[in-house]
Chain A
């Protein structure tokens, strides 16, 4: 069985400061891992994916995530937050075709 735990339901940062959104996973298989973002009244947009190539994955809009097998983590980071980053972020695991979503982290960016 697979599961995803997003360790923070809300994260608030100031514009220009680093962002860290934490995700731990468990999977019986070697998983694919994703981060999706959902802006208000919009669909789910893929930010980045890990599929067993490089452990440090770069995504869109300056986000990146590092796969750490020993810690079963896949945390999302960005060096400098922008106001437009305010959204809901979902960590997702996929050992098979069906995606298993985390409960989401709402990122607030203060001016």
Chain B
């Protein structure tokens, strides 16, 4: 069964460093998303991406964040200068259409120290 894969599963980084989280969405999907879940809190929407551009973003997704689809298979989330409060589980998801169900990866646990 096709699945969304994320790497790494766990990333530890120093405050102020740049970090890139990687995702390989399901191959025939056209919409890509990033969500995050701070420990003990809700899963929160960050950004959606379609046709090589951001289609929607939340207020969390400020100038410190960026997304890219550098080739035909990868979808990345970059955090330019990490803060302690960026520590969270980051989930990548993809969907076939804009209003169809999203399939999630297993997540990357980001720890900023």
Contact = CB atoms under 8 A, between A and B. Distances in A.
Interface of A: 32, 34, 36, 42-46, 49, 51, 90, 94, 96-104
Interface stretch (B11-19, B41-49, B64-72, B74-82): B41-49
Contact of A101 (B43, B55, B99, B105): B43
Given A97-B31, A97-B55, A102-B42, A46 B91 contact: no
Interface in B15-33: 31, 33
B56 A101 contact: no
Given A43-B104, A96-B99, 5 more contacts: A43-B91, A43-B105, A94-B99, A97-B33, A101-B35
Contacts of A49: 101
Contact of B43 (A32, A44, A46): A44
A97 B42 contact: no
A42 B106 contact: yes
B104 A100 contact: no
13 contacts: A43-B4, A44-B43, A44-B91, A44-B93, A46-B101, A51-B99, A96-B99, A97-B55, A98-B45, A98-B58, A99-B102, A101-B43, A102-B42
Interface residues of B, number: 25
A46 B91 CA distance: 14
B98 interface: yes
A43 B5 CA distance: 10
Contacts of B56: 96-98
